[in-house]
Amino acid sequence: MEKHMAVCPYCGAGCKLNLLVDDGMVIGAEGIDGVTNEGELCLKGLSGFDFINDTKILTPRILHPMIRREKGGELERVTWDEALDFTAQRLTEIKEKYGPDAIMLTGSSRGPGNEANFVMQKFTRACIGTNNIDNCARTCHGPSVIGLMDTVGSGAMSVSIPNLENADLIMLFGYNPSASHPIVARRIVKAKEKGAKIIVVDPRSIETARIADLYIQIKNGCNLAFMNAFANVIVSENMHDKAFIDAHTNGFDAWWETIKNYTPESVAEVCGCDPDDIRKAARMYATAPNSVIGWGMGVTQQRQGVKVVHTIAAIACVANQIGRDNAGLAPVRGQNNVQGSCDMGMWPSLLPGYQKVENPEMRAKFEKAWGLPAGTLPAEPGFKLTDLPHGVKEGKIRAFYNFGEDPLQTEPDSADMKETLENLDLLISQDIFMTQTTALADVVFPGTSWGEHDGVFSASDRTFQRFTAAVPPKGECKHDWQIFQELSTRMGYPMHYEDTEEIWNEVRELCPNFYGATYEKMAGTGHAQWPVPTLECPGTPTLYKNGQFNTADKKAILMAHDFVEPTELPDDAYPLVLCTVREVGHYSCRSMTGNCKVLSMLADEPGYVHINPADAEARNIRDEDLVWVSSRRGKVITRACLDERINKGAVYMTYQWWIGKCNDLTMHVTDPLSGTPEDKYSACEVHSIDDQ
């Protein structure tokens, strides 16, 4: 039996493991001593390997290229040459007829590494000539990236995952680590065992609330009101650090002009909690020697996601709970390489390494490196992933290249997304499984899976780690970066990379903060946390040490905003709040975990709607009953799970099921500052199936 070192493909915790291979089959996984996991794995890391072998439990692997010659026709198997020629010709026609901005691409934050994403964004910018490139962060932590870049300068965790366990206080705000990052949850348990205080603020009494020193159950959709009041207490009770504020921040007076209006009493009704609990939490946070605020989708998938991130960053600054190893900000990213997708410039306003497309010096640097005439790279930020529906309706987007994502499953308002995808002139999908989106494609490219390719992932805490292939690509699958470069070459911008190290070395040369992260440094269980600007630098576990923020004058920018209510409030027709959440055994659109024997047995179609027993009783619904859940967008059948941990007036569903999918019900309304959907709040109703 062979062992091949890899990084788990299921979340941003970045757990290192060995894939065990026997006779060409991946037969097991074992945790190894990675920097974030120290040998431990959760159930997905331990049991999530066998889809690589093409188990065909949910859907078969895609093993050869396919094209649909005309709309309404069938997908047919073709050779690679025919598929690439067909696609290059169609993309070129669309570019010539409608311009490069009529083509939109989205990268993959899952199995493919940073190298594949770098080549895809290079193809987008240098060959097609547009900044219409995005990734799934748009739907999850986009507000964290934007909100942190606006205020403290770097769109990432300021602390490292290992250092979480040495914090004196951890406050979780809209973040459920035991479901989304179990090994991060383990660090929080260890912190508790070492004496840390834990605060959980969440509408649901999540698993971590069981070990919390203070659990505050808030109403859905009140985040900014709560955080403004939390900040108000810190300053009103003189717990802010005036010397730090004077030396290391800008804008305190204007910030306080807004924050001073949000006393705990003033938000008690909106938040549905005891004002004294807000005071207690703020005192615990501000007076602990080292405090961390961790947040997740509960913050970002809201109408005011960016504004809440601005406020969290400001709170950390005014309380001087930032810039130390065990004090800072922890927006823990979802998909395993979503941090890497952003690092590689899969973002319509950012070149690789967070270098802005609007900056002429940055564009000139990339043009020179990529052999492009001066002035070639586009300066205007491109479309966001969530611009796709209206971009297609308005005739601005004609072609969409989908790499390793499944927007029909994971984006809001599925009916609208299906119409969007069907109305494209050209839909290209590059994936390992026939997902809901790929089934609609005009071109299907079979990419390689985790376990079949080499590269570098970025964990949620900015840690670069290498992974290696355990088995050769299945069937006719090609490495993803090879597909992009062959397409680019056919479209007149040749690329000739030999391997992923050559690509990574180009990334290092172009991104000063990544330069020191060599393959050599990352061999075995080696790693490097960016910024890692020199070969000698071991990496930077903690950002903003000594109050040096990554802004023009090295000072943080304090930003405050007034609270506004969510877009679609409950009413008589739809009296419940629908909030989307995660299922611990499944991941993203379920194409990977649904094809793993162990994980697929944990839960099955049609999933569950989690509901408070009182709300269920009022509707004559019992545990495990089949029910209808309806909203203004649609109606799905699922099973009821009666759960005391659920707050009254709200229900919770995942988006991973083909039957009973919550995204048939959610609405396409986005945070105007980030374009991130308001997935955590829409109005719905639940009925017993006997009622209709």
216 part of the interface to ligand SF4, by CB under 6 A: no
C-beta of 10 vs 464, nearer to ligand SF4: 10
Query: Is the backbone peptide bond immediately before 606 cis, with ω within 30 degrees of 0?
Result: yes
The closest residue (CB) to ligand SF4 is 45
Question: Least distance to ligand SF4 from the beta carbon of 181, Å?
Answer: 5
Residue type, 495: M
11 part of the interface to ligand SF4, by CB under 6 A: yes
15 part of the interface to ligand SF4, by CB under 6 A: yes
Which range in 5-13, 380-388, 530-538, 543-551 contacts ligand SF4 by CB under 6 A? Answer: 5-13
183 part of the interface to ligand SF4, by CB under 6 A: yes
C-beta of 281 vs 581, nearer to ligand SF4: 581
Q: In 3-state terms, the chain is what percent helix, strand and coil (to 5)?
A: 35, 20, 45
For residues 94 and 428, the answer to whether their CB atoms sit within 8 Å is: no
340 part of the interface to ligand SF4, by CB under 6 A: no
E-strand stretches of 582-645:
608-611, 626-630, 635-642
578 part of the interface to ligand SF4, by CB under 6 A: no
- Would you say the C-alpha torsion 596, 597, 601, 602 has a positive or negative sign? negative
C-beta of 45 vs 143, nearer to ligand SF4: 45
574 part of the interface to ligand SF4, by CB under 6 A: no
C-beta of 11 vs 444, nearer to ligand SF4: 11
Binding residues for ligand SF4, total number by CB under 6 A:
13
Question: Least distance to ligand SF4 from the beta carbon of 463, Å?
Answer: 12
For residues 60 and 552, the answer to whether their CB atoms sit within 8 Å is: no
Question: Least distance to ligand SF4 from the beta carbon of 117, Å?
Answer: 18
633 part of the interface to ligand SF4, by CB under 6 A: no
Within a 13 Å sphere around the CA of 262, how many CA atoms are in the beta-carbon half? 30
Q: Which of 158, 157, 147 is nearest to 544 (CA)?
A: 158
13 part of the interface to ligand SF4, by CB under 6 A: yes
667's CB contacts (< 8 A; 6+ apart) are 412, 413, 567, 568, 631, 632, 633, 677, 678, 682
Total length of the chain: 692
For residues 309 and 299, the answer to whether their CB atoms sit within 8 Å is: yes
182 part of the interface to ligand SF4, by CB under 6 A: yes
Within a 13 Å sphere around the CA of 236, how many CA atoms are in the beta-carbon half? 17
Which range in 176-184, 408-416, 531-539, 638-646 contacts ligand SF4 by CB under 6 A? Answer: 176-184
335 part of the interface to ligand SF4, by CB under 6 A: no
Query: CA-CA distance, 117 to 134, in Å (whole number)?
Result: 10
C-beta of 436 vs 588, nearer to ligand SF4: 588
Which range in 177-185, 293-301, 338-346, 376-384 contacts ligand SF4 by CB under 6 A? Answer: 177-185
Question: Least distance to ligand SF4 from the beta carbon of 669, Å?
Answer: 30
Distance, CA of 177 to chain centre? 14
- Using the CB atoms, write b or e for 447-460: b if 16+ within 10 Å: bbbbbbbbbbbbbb
A 10 A CB-CB count for 505 gives 13
Residues in region 19-48 near ligand SF4 by CB under 6 A: 37, 41-42, 44-45
Binding residues (CB under 6 A) for ligand SF4: these are 8, 10-11, 13, 15, 37, 41-42, 44-45, 181-183
